[in-house]
Chain A
Amino acid sequence: MSVRVLAFFDTRYQPELAEGGDPWRALREARPPSRQHFALDQPSTLGMYDLSDQNAAANVVLFARNAGVDGFVVDVMWDEGRQAYVTGAEPLAHLTGDGFGLAFQWRNGPDVFWQAAASAEARQERAAALIRAIKVGAPALMDGRVPVIVKYPKMLFDPAETLDLLRREAAAAGLPGLYLLACRAEDPEGKYHRRGFDALVDPGPAEWQSCPPSNKPTGLDYLEVMAGLRDSVDYMDRFYDYPLFAVARMINREQRGKVLARVFPGYFDWQKHPEGGAMHLVNRKSNGTQPVDRHLYGLFFENAMLWTRGHLPVEERVVFLDSWNGWLTGSQVEPSLLDGDLVYNATRAAIDRARYVIKSRDTAPEDKLDDAVKERIALLCEAAKNF
């Protein structure tokens, strides 16, 4: 089995899940407040689709499959009004199967119930509701289980008990089990593993800045901003060099524990920060005029897949693509008006390249060094450092 690609997917592009019934309004109306902000792109080939339309959903999945994507990661959130967890993934359900499945990201941050103690009965009921919500479509199994990313693992009141409860409820609901991932950059001491997580997944660009920003505002900058002599973005926002950001996420990554890679073609979130404080990944080669470095993105993706092939067990070899349709953060892969299908094609090419190489490696016998020898080598290397 090759390395699979699961892309984060926003299901809210359907009227019933959007505020005011217009899911694309925020994108249409977003205007960059600064010349230093990249304009948000708009969909082209797939259009501003209504995901609840069967044909539109089928087109989206067809495009994803054609690029080599093996499934979508959809958010599961508590809806206070409905008193239920929602995924919005129902329109995708009949399009899953045959190598394309769903994984889930539990946005447990706003789900305050899990941040405090509660009765066993209430916890069980709530856990059962969560499991009911993710019983939609065919899952993109990891190690034979349904993948669920816990977005804010540190916010769980009793993580070990919660994960255990979720697993029991999943079993009771007939699911083949849960593969639980903590959205964290590192677990060198195995803390998350001990709490019951199967692995970690790199956080998104906004949650984990893997290198220093290229702008380092000073007090003078602040004063100039206050005096109206300078764009406030210079002081408030942070700009990161995309190549450095990507390389920093991959360098020595095996030392961070069992952490699955997340790749992204671009990211800038000024739309989410109207008061300032946004972050921007910048293509250095374009002198900061473009948000996406397609070449470097392709290498980031391809190498993340190759790394995954070399460091994770067969059934857990997944790379997360952030994102398929994150239009509000400029991270989308879907074809767009400004970039056409360049990012889409870069994605497809990177997956093709990586899978070709992976197949050429899979014909070789697996390395089977026993743990004692591995440990001996590690100890000798460590000792050699101090020699």
Chain B
Amino acid sequence: MFCGLSMAGGRVEGFDFEVSKGRLAPNEIIDSSTSPPGRFLLEVGRRVLKAKPQTDLVAVGNPLLPLKSEQIAGWLGKGHGPAVITDEDGFPLVYLLPREMFEDWARFLTVLCCCDGKIDGRLLAGVLGTAVPLLKAAVPKIGRYPVSTATGWFQGRDRQNVLKMLALNATRLIEEPGERWKSLPFAVFHPYHAGSIVFFAAAARKVETPLYQQHVVCSTYRDIWDYAGSPLQPVWLKLPWLPRDNSVGEPQYALHSFERLGQDVMDNSFITFNRYSRTSGSASFHRIDHDRFALGDSLDSPEVTAQWQAPDVRGRCVLPAEPLKVLFHINGGLPIKSYPSDHARLLFRTLQGLGIQASVIGHRPDLAGFGVISVDAEETEPLHKAVSEHHIFVGLDSFPHHFVRNVMGWPTIGLFGNTLAANFGGGWNEQYRTLDASLPCNPCGGDAKCPLFGRKECANYVGPGPLISAIVEMGRRLYGFHA
């Protein structure tokens, strides 16, 4: 799907890459939903240069298109310098770039829109200080790019307009007189949701030399940012976060955001669109690794991915092992995202019988009869405090879970229903487990109700038995608890 050519001393050699589903073999590139197409272009160039260090010129097929090196070799013509080969309408097919573009100016590749040859050619010309002609290839017109493609892109016209707009803004800065552009920072546009902030911060901590220096974040997440420990500089976006009911599209939100950020930010940074560009569930990589790739890590073997590594942070409760105290977050706002209520009642009745003290985030008077304590911990600081007072945290695929696991490093059991445990929970260790029923419908992405059975609750949540077993086992292993 991704391809490149090494051109050196009249010799041309092709390289083809697949999107990895887990092997991360040498010819595979990790799937990253938060990387713009230009990041994949950069990766292909890096791989080609690594394989052929003598390369003068690298030709990279547009990552948005399913191309093979053999195909793009046929379109090169007699070009010996930088160029963008396009279809008749100017949709870029191949980027011919000198090695310096990948070595000295790599981060500018992430601002390429990859959907307009003219814009990208101008941007590249500005960076390289030389003409980058557009060469037309005799291929059928690419036509209107669909919202989603067989190769996993989730783009559509609106997202591509955002990419174009940011590429044009970058071009404007580069074309300013002088060399100020060379020292301007690069900023990631990935402002929401709360869990995303946690993941991006965790990713940024792992990347030695990120492509970006700044991160555009909703200002309502200051408290999360303070805890999350990202090495990037925040650029505060004073706008409410994107509604979860799809009433505002992400591209529209992005445009509002740029307006709200103001001219000063647009004049003083290169912004890349790091909201979802690809369907996230097509591979089993953790979102932190999606973000690490976006930030510049190649992640070229499974061993270096977050799921296979020991946790960065570990915390543990200092209270005596008995009574074992467990904090639950089981209300996801909608029934489909919440732990099923029948399961919950059975769960807490049984925990009571085992002498385990359960607390629940949110107001749940209906569970008080089972000895469950309701805890107000919706905000970050009270959440931090509440978790510290419990031995184990059990949570849905939601911010509290991601915060507790990735920022506090607390013993956590993640409950997954309609989302993929591998993407948002990931690798197990002594202090972390995920639980789901492994139904073939997972992940369904269902919003209001189960798309298969039509019920309001998700059938993929495990019943109370396996959950209680996991709690007791973790309590025994970490704290010496005996049921």
Residues on A lying within 8 angstroms of B by beta carbon are 243-244, 246-247, 250-251, 296, 299-300, 302-304, 306-307, 310, 348-350, 352-357, 359-361, 363-365, 367-369, 373-374, 376-378, 380-381, 383-385, 387
Contact = CB atoms under 8 A, between A and B. Distances in A.
24 contacts: A247-B441, A251-B459, A299-B441, A303-B439, A303-B440, A310-B438, A353-B22, A356-B285, A356-B302, A356-B307, A360-B426, A363-B427, A367-B469, A369-B472, A373-B472, A377-B465, A377-B469, A377-B472, A381-B350, A381-B468, A383-B353, A384-B346, A384-B464, A387-B349
A246 B440 contact: yes
Interface of B: 20-23, 283-285, 302, 305, 307-308, 345-346, 349-350, 353-354, 421-422, 426-430, 432-433, 437-443, 452, 459, 463-465, 468-470, 472-473, 476-477, 483
A377 B470 CA distance: 11
B430 A365 contact: yes
A364 B413 CA distance: 13
Contacts of B22: 352-357
Given A360-B308, A373-B483, 16 more contacts: A243-B452, A247-B459, A251-B437, A296-B441, A304-B440, A349-B21, A350-B21, A353-B283, A357-B307, A364-B427, A367-B470, A377-B465, A380-B350, A380-B354, A381-B464, A384-B350
B438 A250 contact: yes
A299 B422 CA distance: 13
Contact of B473 (A306, A369, A384, A387): A369
A67 B427 CA distance: 24
Contacts of A307: 438
Contacts of A350: 21
A368 B283 CA distance: 30
Contacts of B305: 360
B404 to A, nearest CB: 17
Contacts of B422: 353, 356-357, 360
B164 to A, nearest CB: 31
Contacts of B477: 365, 368
Given A369-B476, A385-B346, A364 B433 contact: yes
B353 A352 contact: no
The 5 closest A-B pairs by CB, nearest first: A356-B22, A364-B428, A360-B307, A360-B427, A300-B440
A296 B426 contact: no
B66 to A, nearest CB: 13
Given A353-B21, A367-B470, A380 B353 contact: yes
Contacts of A365: 430, 477
A247 B307 contact: no
A310 to B, nearest CB: 7
A352 B438 contact: no
- Among B440, B441, B483, max chain A CB count under 10 A is at B440
A355 B284 CA distance: 10
